[in-house]
Amino acid sequence: MIKLIVDTLLSQVRTLWLVFLKLFKKKDTVEYPDQQPYMFPRWRGRIILSRDPDGEERCVACNLCAVACPVDCIALQKGEMEDGRWYPEFFRINFSRCIMCGFCEEACPTNAIQLTPDFEMAEYIRQDMVWEKEDLLINGTGKYHDYNFYRVAGKQIEGKDKGEALNEAAPVDVRSLLP
Amino acid sequence: MSLEIGSFLSIGLILGVVIITAALLITVERRLLGFWQERLGPNRVGWFGSLQVVADMIKIFTKEDWVPPFADKFSFVIAPGIIMTVVLLSFAVIPFAPNIGVIDSNIGVLFILAMASLGAYSVMLGGLSSDNKYALLGSLRAAAQMVSYEVFMGISLLGVVALTGSFNMREIVESQADGWYIIPQFIGFVIFLIAGVAESHRLPFDIPEAEQEICAGYHTEYSGMKFGMFFVAEYIGLVLISSLITVLFFGGWLGPEFLPPILWFSIKAFAFIAFFILMRAAVPRPRYDQLMSYGWLFLLPLSLVNLLITGVIILSMQ
């Protein structure tokens, strides 16, 4: 009983002392609008669409991001260019729904859709939260500098036949292997 | 007009300083709590957030002064007034300095205890008249807590009174000239400190208003300046308890010559105010039954034993 009382008393005094010492510690607060916090490069913020090193859109309108999106905030329509490339006719992200989970970035086979460390996206009008392709596209490659989907993929487009992609073997006529 | 006990200048000074201090404490408390939780606290309005209290005041004065239709209007309205009056009246007997004070009363300590008892009415009336289950629970808790902690708040003071041989606060201060009562009456001091926290229902013992359990307790239905009066009265109560501890156990205005007596009093009182805020930052709230059993089963016997031993020592010294 006496031990319990002494222990609890000491514990209270120790608590008070330790909390008092916090007066001299560095504060954790970042005074945000005056002082920008350091944003980590992998921070999942505003979504952008990047371009390949040649300046073409990377997005091939495969719809995987729209499928992966848990809140269904991505909408797009496939279009096809004359040379056989696919591209999105429109690409729309509703940022009032987006939860910045980054699943679209993970799903994207061409590194087109990427999340950036920017988070200052507040708007007064709800309609302004819906971003079209013009708003999303940037004039750069984002996090992956020398990746070009059509250069490494086996997809046939004008000026690049089957087997002509980087590190791609020429196509094999499987019938020739038959006995 | 000269500065002496009971003069208008003295009374006005005490009233003004006490109320302004209580208002400023709102900012000071938020700031200190922030520091103790490793954040900054309000620092935007004015110099290092010093005008935050002005912003708070503007906010609270411009709020709608609303009485719920189901409340008992008369007691609902007078309840915040009672607690303001009662705590401010308690300052009448506090000796701030040899020449500053309202009355030089022979029953100073008793007067303070009587006023503390009256404070329970305000909390009870406020809670009961609100006709709200949380307010009712809060006021029931407050009534039980204040009544039971008053018992040994009084008993813990009796050691000091016995050592001085007087209920007069000024004589208590003057008799501490050759040694503060904190040394012979350490147990009494600790009990008084704890009872004082419970009496002003500050955080470790803020069970009557425990936000996490019963909304805001007895002032759940209050808004605007009526809530503000409860709020400011709590801070005035904090100043009162700190002043009382200073007067009874830490020699009031006594101190080395290089500072005037009133400054010594203020420094000591502010140290205790800061200590109460530190307690709010550090100590978690006990359960309600723990509070009651702690009071009746531990503090009451302890304070009686303390009184008994003090009495024996005083008698054997004669």
- Asked if B168 and B161 touch (Cβ cutoff 8 Å), the reply is no
Q: Which amino acid is at B165?
A: G
Mean pLDDT along residues B291-315:
88
The per-residue pLDDT for B121 is 86
pLDDT at B2: 67
User: How many domains does the structure of chain B reveal?
Assistant: 1
Q: Is residue A35 part of a domain?
A: no
Residue B228 to residue B230: CA distance in whole angstroms:
5
Please name the residues in contact with B129: beta carbons below 8 A apart, sequence gap of 6 or more: B71, B72, B73, B74, B75, B76, B79
Domain hosting residue A108, numbered range:
47-156
The per-residue pLDDT for range A24-47, each reduced to its tens digit, is 888 888 888 888 888 898 899 999
Asked whether residue B1 is assigned to any structural domain, the reply reads no
Q: Is the pLDDT of residue B38 over 90?
A: no
Amino acid residing at B52: Q
Which of A141, A121, A110 is CA-nearest to residue A73? Answer: A121
Query: For residue A37, is it within any domain?
Result: no
Residue A2 lies in a domain: no
pLDDT digit string, tens, across residues B147-183: 888 888 888 888 888 888 888 888 888 888 888 888 8
**Residue B198 — very low, low, confident or very high, per pLDDT cuts 50/70/90?**
confident
Q: Which residues contact B271 (CB under 8 A, 6 or more apart)?
A: none
Which residues of B are less than 8 Å from A5 in CB distance?
A: 298
Query: Considering the domain boundaries, does residue B23 fall inside one?
Result: yes
**Chain B residues touching A27 at Cβ < 8 A:** 35, 38-40
Instruction: Supply the Cα-derived Rg of chain B in whole angstroms.
Output: 20
pLDDT at B67 over 80: yes
Find which of B29, B31, B36, B302 to mutate to test the A interface (most A CBs within 10 Å of its CB).
B36
pLDDT, one tens digit per residue, over A120-145 is: 888 999 999 999 999 999 998 888 88
State the amino acid at position B147 in one-letter form.
Answer: V
Instruction: Give the number of beta-carbon pairs within 8 Å between A and B.
Output: 34
A7 located within any domain: no
What ipTM describes this predicted complex? Answer: 0.78
Q: What pLDDT is stored for residue B93 in this prediction?
A: 87
* DSSP secondary structure letter of residue A53: T
Residue A126 lies in a domain: yes
pLDDT recorded at residue A5: 79
Rounded to an integer, what distance in angstroms lies between the CA atom of residue B120 and that of residue B143? Answer: 6
Q: How many domains does chain A have?
A: 1
Contact residues on chain A for B283, CB-CB shorter than 8 A: 12, 15-16
Q: How far apart are CA B157 and CA A44, in angstroms?
A: 62
What's chain A's length in residues? Answer: 179
**Which of B40, B282, B298 minimises the CB distance to A15?**
B282
Is B305 touching A (CB cutoff 8 A)? no
pLDDT value of residue A83: 86
Q: What pLDDT does B144 receive?
A: 86
B224-249 helix and B261-282 helix, angle to the nearest 10 degrees: 120
Q: What is the pLDDT of residues B121-148, one digit of tens each?
A: 888 888 888 888 888 888 888 888 888 8
CATH classification of the domain holding A151: 3.30.70.3270
> What pairing do the DSSP bridges indicate for beta strands A86-94 and A130-131?
antiparallel
pLDDT in tens, B219-265: 888 888 888 888 888 888 888 899 989 988 888 788 787 888 888 88
Residue A7 pLDDT > 60: yes
So what's the pLDDT on residue B1? 54
Residue A103 has a pLDDT of 93
Provide the pLDDT for residue A105. Answer: 92
Q: Mean pLDDT over all residues of chain A?
A: 88
Considering the domain boundaries, does residue A99 fall inside one? yes
Region B73-80 average pLDDT: 87
Query: To the nearest whole percent, how much of chain B has pLDDT over 90?
Result: 1
Contacts of A25 in chain B (CB under 8 A): 38
* Domain hosting residue B234, numbered range: 8-317
Residue A71 in this model has a pLDDT that exceeds 90: yes
Q: State the smallest CA–CA distance between residue B306 and chain A in angstroms.
A: 17
What is the identity of the amino acid at B32?
L
Q: Which of A54, A62, A84 is nearest to A147 (CA)?
A: A54
Is the pLDDT assigned to residue B52 strictly greater than 90?
Answer: no
* B107: in domain: yes
If you average pLDDT over residues A91-99, what whole number do you get? Answer: 92
In this complex, do A29 and B278 lie within 8 Å of one another by their Cβ atoms? no
> Pick the residue with more confidence: B202 or B82?
B82
Instruction: Tell me if B281 and A12 make a contact (CB, 8 A cut-off).
Output: no
CA–CA dist B28, A85 (Å, integer)? 66
Q: Is the pTM of this model over 0.95?
A: no
Between CA B30 and CA B43, with CA A33 as vertex, the angle to 5 degrees is 20
- Answer whether residue A110 shows pLDDT above 80: yes
Q: What is the structure's pLDDT at A69?
A: 93
Minimum CA–CA partner of A14 in chain B:
B282
Higher pLDDT among residues A17 and A153, named by residue: A17
- Confidence check: pLDDT of B285 > 70: yes
Whole-number average pLDDT of chain B: 85
